[in-house]
Structure 1
């Protein structure tokens, strides 16, 4: 569930650094394009003095390298264009919030702005009526007009900032998916263990085909509210939404409500199991396995696979994390499918056994001094052979590997 932004939070943002990033990415794109073009031209002109089969192979490889480099340049340009657009949207709406907040607080109606972007008065309408008597009714009407106006402008701008912050981040990082497959594979650290290396390469999924959206909304949200279920919309991939709406059509609103509660149930159990390894460690493996076991039990293994895999289709997903989650999800679904009548406690015990026997995978992201490893040293690891103190989340976003699932 997405965290709600507050007025004080967004007014405290300094967007100058994002604008600097735009400039750096444009300069980087131009540099890559210039250097790859120059190198490519020299290789193409080598036939007169390097006309052997080896020379032809070298020129062919050079042409591929040039294409990959130019594609990388295009990705940087795409990132820069996206970021410039989002910075502009954020600046415009934050300016609206700042200006309207100042106007509201300077008005004669003793107004203030709440953290969620709404405008209220410190004086009641009755107090306003008395103060402006014999024109009390007109004063109250005028005050309500300005409260509504400021409220609409500020809350709408805050909502738009929230949308740009959440949806924009997804669309922005999705540019990374356009890198050439050879580039993606070349910058990813491969485990020395061949089985782990195979898991890292095989347990990747394609990026979502659509644009992420907030869900539940519309008919499903209304149906949930009618049942007294108040669930705030979360940013989901197109495929996640399609799976949930299929569940709604085939199993009804109660099934959707239950499915939406399972991640929190799994997170609570994982935290009890190992509160210090929630971030890409043993507890995170536990959370994914237990979540998928529950979904497999309640809604079937096929639907659970569709939904859990759809959850990983965000852009720029760190490849080690994507492989970890998809692998552990699969282990959990097998537990649920093979034990359809198991109690929650029995499922948790089976999940624990898988983790402690080393069947699950985690991420080694720290050295023995507790320092974060650089991105090219972060490794996928077996859950039993990895010290819990060394697990953790890799910094930033990842260069995604080609999807297979």
Structure 2
């Protein structure tokens, strides 16, 4: 029995070393490893912070990179939708920002379930320089997005958009301006 445990531990240590060595190999900018380092994490269009990077780059959970890439793509989709539906002046702390958070959290809920969406949304707001009022507003709007997404047919983006707009009209989404 003990031999099996020692062998398992040895295999884990060897795999960790192999993965660490592979990830430390210098590569040309167009390779997938560089793409992981830039596109998924450090150029995270939704403002990647340390909590997001720590989650996404975990050596013990390499498949998270794919989830983080999907979350980033959904964030870009939500931003584009907000830009198409709201004036530019409302995209920071206004109605467009509230809608974007609701819609993004709804898309995340479709993709990862309520718990997964909450994880991405909470990590996104978890950074020291995030003003407390903005954080509270965004966490509220993320929660509304998860709630409305869980009440409509999974994947129905038109219904999600309409539900987020209705939540804004009803005053369930919060803004600071």
TM-score by length of 1: 0.32
Match of 1:231 in 2: 39
Unaligned runs of 5+ in 1: 1-217, 364-390, 392-405
From 104, 112, 125, the counterpart of 1:299: 112
Q: Distance in 2 between matches of 1:258 and 1:353?
A: 26
What is the CA deviation profile of residues 301-338 of structure 1, one whole-angstrom value per residue up to 9, with x for unaligned ones?
Answer: 11221221111121132221111101001111112223
> Residue 308 and residue 225 in structure 1: after superposition, are their counterparts in 2 closer, same or farther (change >3 A)?
same
TM-score by length of 2: 0.68
Match of 1:241 in 2: 53
Larger proportion of strand: 1
From 40, 47, 68, the counterpart of 1:256: 68
Match of 1:30 in 2: none
The correspondence of residues 1-400 of structure 1 with structure 2, limited to 5 A, is 218=23, 222=32, 225=35, 231=39, 233-234=42-43, 236-245=48-57, 249=61, 253-275=65-87, 276-363=89-176, 391=177
Q: CA deviation at 1:282?
A: 0.5
What is the CA deviation profile of residues 26-67 of structure 1, one whole-angstrom value per residue up to 9, with x for unaligned ones?
Answer: xxxxxxxxxxxxxxxxxxxxxxxxxxxxxxxxxxxxxxxxxx
8 Å CA contact 1:271, 1:283 repeated in 2: yes
Q: Distance in 2 between matches of 1:295 and 1:332?
A: 9
Larger proportion of helix: 2
Q: Distance in 2 between matches of 1:349 and 1:250?
A: 36
Q: Distance in 1 between matches of 2:35 and 2:126?
A: 28
What is the CA deviation profile of residues 228-255 of structure 1, one whole-angstrom value per residue up to 9, with x for unaligned ones?
Answer: xx72723633321243346x93756543
Match of 1:102 in 2: none
- Root mean square deviation of aligned Cα: 2.8
Q: Which has the higher contact order (CA 8 A, sep 6+)?
A: 2
4+ aligned runs moved over 6 Å, structure 1: none
What is the CA deviation profile of residues 326-365 of structure 1, one whole-angstrom value per residue up to 9, with x for unaligned ones?
Answer: 10011111122233524211211111111011111101xx
Q: Distance in 2 between matches of 1:319 and 1:350?
A: 26
> Residue 282 and residue 331 in structure 1: after superposition, are their counterparts in 2 closer, same or farther (change >3 A)?
same
Unaligned runs of 5+ in 2: 1-22, 25-30
